[in-house]
């Protein structure tokens, strides 16, 4: 693949529901990089009731961040487990502490910052349905499942995320502004951030694709 020579160590950052997962799956499909979503990994741990899952679930359900030390270990483990230098981190880092730790061990060279108005986000997560075992995500009126309420690949039932309840979404957005937006400023001081603004993923995606194409050819 085209990325063979160029190290693509990228973070996709944006508010809850801004489309990180949706854009990530397009990046994976187009550029063939490994995608690590801390939210998906954590939900998998919760489903399997591992020690980490048991510790994380109460934070997730109330819209708080999981403590840094749990997350940093998880990500270090996941990055070490993939072969190759190309990966896309989705949902990590979310605090300055996490960003600095990551930069020490696995320095990032590209940050994609999704900027979507909060009122658009609130409407979206109301319509979100997920297939928990795979992390596949649908949205009524945007990417509907072929059969209502069923996953396209397995035919299994879809569910809504506990943390998509309106009061929890409000808390997640608040935490984003407080704890995660400073991470963007940290990366801006390193000069590696691309800002992508829009109300829809279809509007944002071509700009991201172009940005990544340029990044790769500059390598
Ligand atoms: P997550 O799982 O990382 P969030 O809150 O960052 O959760 P989320 O909700 O997964 O982010 P997203 O990935 O940014 O959102 O967005 P998405 O899923 O692609 O899109 C949202 C919805 O909109 C979908 O239904 C999609 O189909 C639809 N959609 C996309 N584009 C469009 C469009 O153009 N139009 C329309 N109509 N719809 C669209 O983290 C969860 C929890 O895990 C813990 C925390 O507790 C966190 O709250 N956690 C961490 N804690 C500490 N540190 C970390 N690093 C942590 N990572 C996770
Ligand atoms: Mg996501």
**Closest atom, ligand 1, to C-alpha of 128:** 25
Note the pLDDT of residue 38.
Answer: 97
Q: pLDDT category, 3, cuts 50, 70, 90?
A: low
Rounded to an integer, what distance in angstroms lies between the CA atom of residue 139 and that of residue 54? Answer: 28
Q: For position 6, what pLDDT does the model report?
A: 62
| Res. 85: pLDDT tops 60 | yes
Q: By alpha-carbon position, which residue is closest to atom 43 of ligand 1? A: 39
Q: What is the pLDDT of the chain when averaged over all its residues?
A: 94
Of the residues 9, 43, 94, 136, which is catalytic? 94
Instruction: Please report where in the chains the tokens 């704890």 appear, as a residue.
Output: 179
| 124 belongs to the catalytic site | no
Q: Work out the pLDDT band at 78, boundaries 50, 70, 90.
A: very high
pLDDT one-digit tens code per residue, 102-120? 999 999 999 999 999 999 9
Q: Ligand 1 within 6 A of 172 CB?
A: yes
- Is residue 94 part of the annotated active site? The answer reads yes
| Bridge partners, residue 11, by sequence | 89, 111
For ligand 1, is residue 142 a contact (CB within 6 Å)? yes
Could you tell me the two tokens for 219?
Answer: 């390598």
145 lines ligand 1 (CB under 6 A): no
Q: Kindly state if the Cβ of 74 falls inside 6 Å of ligand 1.
A: no
Strands of the sheet with 34-37, listed across from one edge: 34-37, 87-90, 9-14, 110-115, 193-197
pTM of the predicted protein model:
0.93
135, with CB counted inside 10 A (0-12, 13-18, 19+), is: middle
Active-site residue 43, yes or no?
A: no
pLDDT at 181: 98
- Nearest-ligand number for the alpha carbon of 136: 1
Does residue 45's CB lie within 6 angstroms of at least one atom of ligand 1? no
Pocket test for ligand 1, best of 22, 136, 182 (most atoms within 8 A of CB): 22
Catalytic residue check, 165: no
Nearest CA to ligand 1 atom 55: 92
Contacts with 74 (C-beta within 8 Å, 6 or more apart), sequence order: 38, 41, 42, 52
């Amino acid at each position: 693949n085209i990325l063979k020579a160029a190290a693509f160590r990228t973070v996709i950052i944006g508010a809850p529901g801004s489309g990180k997962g949706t854009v990530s799956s397009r990046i994976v499909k187009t550029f063939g990089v490994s995608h690590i979503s801390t939210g998906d990994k954590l939900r998998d741990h919760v489903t399997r009731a591992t020690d980490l899952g048991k510790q994380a679930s109460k934070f997730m359900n109330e819209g708080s961040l999981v403590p840094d030390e749990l997350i940093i270990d998880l990500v270090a483990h996941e990055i070490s487990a993939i072969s190759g230098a190309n990966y896309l981190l989705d949902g990590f880092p979310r605090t300055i502490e996490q960003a600095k730790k990551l930069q020490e061990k696995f320095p990032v060279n590209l940050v994609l910052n999704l900027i979507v108005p909060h009122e658009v986000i609130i409407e979206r997560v109301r319509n979100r349905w997920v297939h928990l075992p795979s992390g596949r995500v649908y949205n009524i009126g945007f990417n509907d499942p072929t059969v209502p309420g069923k996953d396209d690949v397995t035919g299994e039932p879809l569910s809504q995320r506990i943390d998509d309840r309106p009061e929890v979404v409000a808390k997640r957005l608040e935490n984003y502004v407080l704890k995660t937006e400073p991470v963007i400023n940290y990366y801006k001081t390193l000069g590696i951030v691309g800002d992508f603004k829009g109300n829809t993923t279809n509007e944002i995606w071509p700009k991201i694709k172009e940005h990544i194409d340029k990044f790769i050819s500059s390598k």
